[in-house]
Structure 1
């Protein structure tokens, strides 16, 4: 790799890191707000919140990296044009394809990073996210029960606890169960404990009373107890079989999936195939946005008014690529035979890059007069 390649590649890498950090922060804050509402507001501590936001980072990075690479390339080449560096390089005889070589290396690096995220880190993070979500849902103390507040964890259920000790003991418990249409039961207890059993979690109440009201007859029955066990397994939906999420499955399994595999996992075959091939397509697509941005800016020349037309052209060419992906996803997920549409976006990006490279090369030859006979020079006989 020559000095010019290292110079361009270094600048692209530095700016790519900066723009990636900025964009990831923006997307992370948006995701963190949603998680904060669902976790902290439900009684979970800060460590759980930070863990969930960290598990969301691979998916955010997967979305942001191609954008950051595209913006970094536009910034670097715009600066090079403004400082006449690109003009000097072109005057020195560097062709358009030669100028694009370090950008191609940069695109390959971004593609490799995107491939690692899409095929390794993001599925692993998604699997861990689902497992931890199930554990948090099973944590009745953290999710539903807060001292000094009336909580309505599900329809027909009201819970109040005066105090929760450091050991997890509930003091002065009030629990009203209106889940049955004809009976309303109210439990009060001096103390209670949440315990686990093979059949699921149980709420054990001590020194309390149960009042059952028959809504049809209006009859109230009262029973005092020394200890009573209340089944909360249905409340927190424990025991339900954990389903598969297509985003957590390995890529190799997805691209080789058949009807039997899809039926066994309870997932649509078309969605599995598209997800697997889309991960590979994302890796390929990440190579081309930097090349499109650089090739568009090479179509212009130094001007005190800037190269905003070329920048606008680059944006106009890149934005429809997302439209292509959206249309491909909607079509391929409806028909398993159309999984190859996952590669429509990188194929379109490659075609645009090739066209821009050829156009930039032909424009340079026209501007430098390469291949044309100078005026007044004798013709060379055939």
Structure 2
């Protein structure tokens, strides 16, 4: 690799890091607002929010990486062209193909980073995230310790707690249980405690009253009690931790399931094949968008005003490729034998880049076209 190739590659990597940080920051702020509200309102601490945010970062990075790669290729090529560095290299005999070596190396480096994220880190982080979400959903204590709010830990149950002391004592407690529609009941007490007994969580209420409505007999009975125990363990959401989503399944298991479709019985063969090859297609798309961003700008000649028409055309190609990627997934799910379609957007992008570099490498053809157009103008 020549000195110019190393210089060009450094420019691409620095800009790639910058655009990745900016895009991840923007998307992270957008998503973290709703996540923060959901986690904190569920009675969880800020540490749980930070843990959930960290576990979603691999998915977020995978989403923004192709955009960062494309932006770095376009920005670096445009800057080198505007500062006449590419013009000088072309004047010394270097062809656009020769100058594309740094872009190819950059695309391969981005693809390797994407391979680590898409194939290994993202499935592992999603698996851990789903496990922690199941644990948090089953943490009834955290769901109940919200002062001054009517909470619904499960369908048909309403809980209200007026005040929570530092020692865990609950005051002004009200519980409405309408899960049995024929005999709804409600309990209220001045003081209550959460007690863990034998793996079951009980709400022990002191000095209260219990009201029970018998709809069949149309009667309401009331009972004063000094203490009463109410089992709240059943309020925990029954989340099947063992049944992971397809996105959280390790790649090695997907490879085995590709050979044996019954290995993941709750997913179809098409879903398994689509998810597996989708992870690898993210690697190739990074190489394609890097070449598209570079080759489209090489079609333009030197201009102090930049290469805005070429930038716009490159962005249009990027949008079309991303749109096409979204249309092939349902086709592969319906017919797993067509899994090669998932790599078609990358192949189209690389093919377009080759055509652009062929045209850029033969400027005489473009000049002849302009001369012919001028000669035919009356």
Determine if the alignment matches structure 1 residue 177 to structure 2 residue 177. yes
Does the CA contact (< 8 Å) of 1:233 and 1:239 recur in 2? no
The aligned residue for residue 334 of structure 2 is: 334
Does the CA contact (< 8 Å) of 1:103 and 1:294 recur in 2? yes
Return the alpha-carbon distance in structure 2 between the equivalents of residues 119 and 10 of structure 1: 26
The aligned residue for residue 86 of structure 1 is: 86
User: How much has 1:239 moved relative to structure 2?
Assistant: 6.7
User: How much has 1:328 moved relative to structure 2?
Assistant: 0.8
User: How much has 1:364 moved relative to structure 2?
Assistant: 6.8
Q: Which runs of 5+ in 1 are unaligned?
A: 369-382
SS at structure 1 position matched to 2:222: strand
The superposition leaves residues 244-280 of structure 1 with CA deviations (integer Å, 9 ceiling, x where unpaired) of 21111111221331321121xx222211111111111
* Structure 1 residues 292 and 239, CA gap change in structure 2 (3 angstroms): closer
The superposition leaves residues 197-253 of structure 1 with CA deviations (integer Å, 9 ceiling, x where unpaired) of 45x544344454322111232312233445544333332224755422111111122
Q: Provide TM-score, normalisation by structure 2.
A: 0.90
- Range moving further from structure 2, 296-305 or 206-215: 206-215
* Structure 1 residues 274 and 197, CA gap change in structure 2 (3 angstroms): farther
Return the alpha-carbon distance in structure 2 between the equivalents of residues 255 and 329 of structure 1: 18
The superposition leaves residues 332-351 of structure 1 with CA deviations (integer Å, 9 ceiling, x where unpaired) of 12233333322222222222
The aligned residue for residue 59 of structure 1 is: 59
The aligned length equals 365
Return the alpha-carbon distance in structure 2 between the equivalents of residues 15 and 9 of structure 1: 10
SS at structure 1 position matched to 2:212: strand
Does the CA contact (< 8 Å) of 2:256 and 2:263 recur in 1? no
SS at structure 2 position matched to 1:191: strand
User: How much has 1:53 moved relative to structure 2?
Assistant: 1.2
The aligned residue for residue 255 of structure 1 is: 255
Q: Which runs of 5+ in 2 are unaligned?
A: 369-378
* Structure 1 residues 205 and 336, CA gap change in structure 2 (3 angstroms): farther
The aligned residue for residue 284 of structure 2 is: 284
Does the CA contact (< 8 Å) of 2:296 and 2:353 recur in 1? no
User: How much has 1:177 moved relative to structure 2?
Assistant: 0.9
Return the alpha-carbon distance in structure 2 between the equivalents of residues 196 and 306 of structure 1: 72
Q: Provide TM-score, normalisation by structure 1.
A: 0.89
The correspondence of residues 195-274 of structure 1 with structure 2, limited to 5 A, is 195=196, 197-198=198-199, 200-225=200-225, 227-238=227-238, 240=240, 242-257=242-257, 258-263=260-265, 266-274=266-274
Does the CA contact (< 8 Å) of 2:331 and 2:338 recur in 1? yes
Return the alpha-carbon distance in structure 2 between the equivalents of residues 4 and 54 of structure 1: 38
- Range moving further from structure 2, 286-295 or 142-151: 142-151
Does the CA contact (< 8 Å) of 2:212 and 2:222 recur in 1? yes
Does the CA contact (< 8 Å) of 2:163 and 2:171 recur in 1? yes
SS at structure 2 position matched to 1:54: helix
The aligned residue for residue 371 of structure 2 is: none
* Structure 1 residues 366 and 193, CA gap change in structure 2 (3 angstroms): closer
The aligned residue for residue 194 of structure 2 is: 193
Return the alpha-carbon distance in structure 2 between the equivalents of residues 156 and 77 of structure 1: 62
The aligned residue for residue 325 of structure 2 is: 325
The aligned residue for residue 373 of structure 2 is: none
Return the alpha-carbon distance in structure 2 between the equivalents of residues 318 and 347 of structure 1: 13
